[in-house]
Amino acid sequence: MIKTLPPDIIASTGLDALTHAVEAYLSKPATLITDNHAVKAVKLILGAIEGAYEDIKNHHTDRENLMFGSTIAGFAFGNSDVTAVHCISESIGALYDIPHGVANSIFLPHVLSYNLPDCFVKMATLARQTGIVEVDDMSSARFFIQNIKALSKKLGIPLFKDLEIGKDKFEKISQMSFENNSTPSNPRELGQEDYLKILENAYES
- CA 91 from centre of chain: 15
From CA 13, how far away is CA 100, in angstroms rounded?
8
Listed as own residue / partner, the contacts of 141-150 with beta carbons closer than 8 Å and 24 or more positions apart are: 141/116, 142/116, 144/112, 145/109, 145/112, 145/113, 145/116, 146/109, 148/18, 148/108, 148/109, 148/112, 149/109
156: left (phi over 0), alpha (psi -120 to 50) or beta: left
Give the pLDDT mean for 107-136: 94
From CA 104, how far away is CA 15, in angstroms rounded?
7
Q: What is the pTM of this model?
A: 0.96
**What's the pLDDT at 133?**
84
Query: 100-129 and 137-154 helices cross at what angle (nearest 10)?
Result: 140
Mean pLDDT, rounded, of the chain:
96
pLDDT in tens, 10-49: 999 999 999 999 999 999 999 999 999 999 999 999 999 9
Longest dimension (CA), the chain: 47
Share of the chain above pLDDT 70, in %: 100
Q: In the CATH scheme, what is the homologous superfamily, with its name and number, of domain 7-204?
A: Dehydroquinate synthase-like - alpha domain (1.20.1090.10)
Angle at 87 between CA 82 and CA 89, to 5 degrees: 105
Which among 76, 137, 81, 149 is positioned nearest to 112, based on CA atoms?
149
